[in-house]
Structure 1
Amino acid sequence: MITQPWCRRMAQYNRWMNRKLYACAAQLGDAQRQEDRGAFFKSLQGTLDHLVYADTAWLYRFSGRDVATLNPRQPQRPDFASLRVERERLDEEILAWVETLDETWLAATFSFTSQMSGKTFSSPNWQFVTHFFNHQTHHRGQATTLLMQFGIDPGVTDLPAMPD
């Protein structure tokens, strides 16, 4: 099972990487960020927007808020500037949230119904929290590839390289 300090480290890594990616993405024009490059969420903007949606949805689920108020098929923020502001706010919320975690909550069973598939899933919270952080890393990997296609190298993305 994961621990609260592990979650804290992953939240710190999440914020570090998001800041790096958004700084790189800011070097592009809006048309480039929104250009369909054949990625799962089409563009760099679409990929970054999906991460904001997914992180928000998971935080809603974990805190008992109504996920039905979110629409996974609509952009969360239509422009890069507001998306970047929301990403910063969300990363701070994630950092605060992980400070509330303890072994009892992490071990408890959690159930939710996916907005995308309509399927209901049940597992210990720690498995969903692991997925939460893994999902971020997965899509940031796609974002780094999109940036590289534009000739922008985000640099080292490895956890041990994160400055403390």
Structure 2
Amino acid sequence: MNLLENLQLQARYSQWVNQRLYDVCANLTEDDPKRDRGVFFHSIHGTWNHLLLGDRVWLARLQGQPVPYQCLDLELYADFAELRAAQADCDQALRDWIKGLQTDDLQRRITFRSLSTGQDKELSVPIMLTALLNHKTHHRGQITALLSQCGCESGDIDFICAPVSITLGFTSRTI
């Protein structure tokens, strides 16, 4: 597997996990997603919101577009269903963008200003994508812990448990 294939795989897996965890969140009571649970972005809703915001910031940088936000705790959607739909759209946009990459694109370096530190940075496309995908994993871990606090089981979302369609890139069969 080459680097491009690995990045595509990670994006497919990320999309699958997001869908699975949002499915679990759909079983929460109306108040649970926004209940402050003492985490950095306060709640399940706040953490999902931050995840989407981060995805959009990284994707804009990668695509050479202006960064759409200037702070990391802006609420993008008050409605949980709208937040979920926007995340699904963003996950697909990321997959499509990565799928369109060519080997030469992996050598490109991008300069940007960090929203968290205000410092100028320059990173290669693969490092930026790795940062984006790791960021998603980090915050999904928080979401699974918060779901446990609500008495919800997030299911087996380990990479090894992903459907074959994710790990092989096909859509016709699952484990």
**SS of residue in 2 equivalent to 1:28:** coil
Question: How far does residue 88 in structure 1 lie from its aligned partner after superposition?
Answer: 1.1
User: 2:104 — aligned with what?
Assistant: 104
User: 1:70 — aligned with what?
Assistant: 69
User: 1:31 — aligned with what?
Assistant: 31
Deviation by residue 1:25-62 (Cα, 9 ceiling, x = unmatched)? 11112311101111111100000000000001111000
**RMSD after superposition:** 1.3
User: 1:12 — aligned with what?
Assistant: 12
Question: How far does residue 102 in structure 1 lie from its aligned partner after superposition?
Answer: 2.1
**SS of residue in 1 equivalent to 2:31:** helix
C-alpha separation in 2, matches of 1:118 and 1:12: 31
User: 1:45 — aligned with what?
Assistant: 45
Contact 1:30–1:80 (CA<8 Å) still a contact in 2?
Answer: no
Which stretch of structure 1 is more off in the superposition, 47-56 or 105-114? Answer: 105-114
C-alpha separation in 2, matches of 1:107 and 1:144: 35
Question: How far does residue 124 in structure 1 lie from its aligned partner after superposition?
Answer: 1.8
User: What TM-score results when the alignment is normalised by the length of structure 2?
Assistant: 0.88
C-alpha separation in 2, matches of 1:30 and 1:65: 36
C-alpha separation in 1, matches of 2:50 and 2:81: 15
Query: What amino acid is the match of 1:5?
Result: E
- Say how many residue pairs are matched: 162
Contact 1:108–1:124 (CA<8 Å) still a contact in 2?
Answer: yes
Deviation by residue 1:79-99 (Cα, 9 ceiling, x = unmatched)? 101001101111111111111
Moved over 4 A (4+): none
User: 2:61 — aligned with what?
Assistant: 61
User: What TM-score results when the alignment is normalised by the length of structure 1?
Assistant: 0.94
C-alpha separation in 2, matches of 1:149 and 1:161: 23
Contact 2:110–2:123 (CA<8 Å) still a contact in 1?
Answer: yes
Q: Structure 2: any 5+ residue segments left out of the alignment?
A: 166-175
User: 2:22 — aligned with what?
Assistant: 22
Q: Structure 1: any 5+ residue segments left out of the alignment?
A: none
C-alpha separation in 2, matches of 1:101 and 1:13: 18
Contact 1:3–1:102 (CA<8 Å) still a contact in 2?
Answer: no
Question: How far does residue 74 in structure 1 lie from its aligned partner after superposition?
Answer: 1.6
Question: How far does residue 115 in structure 1 lie from its aligned partner after superposition?
Answer: 2.1
C-alpha separation in 2, matches of 1:109 and 1:63: 12
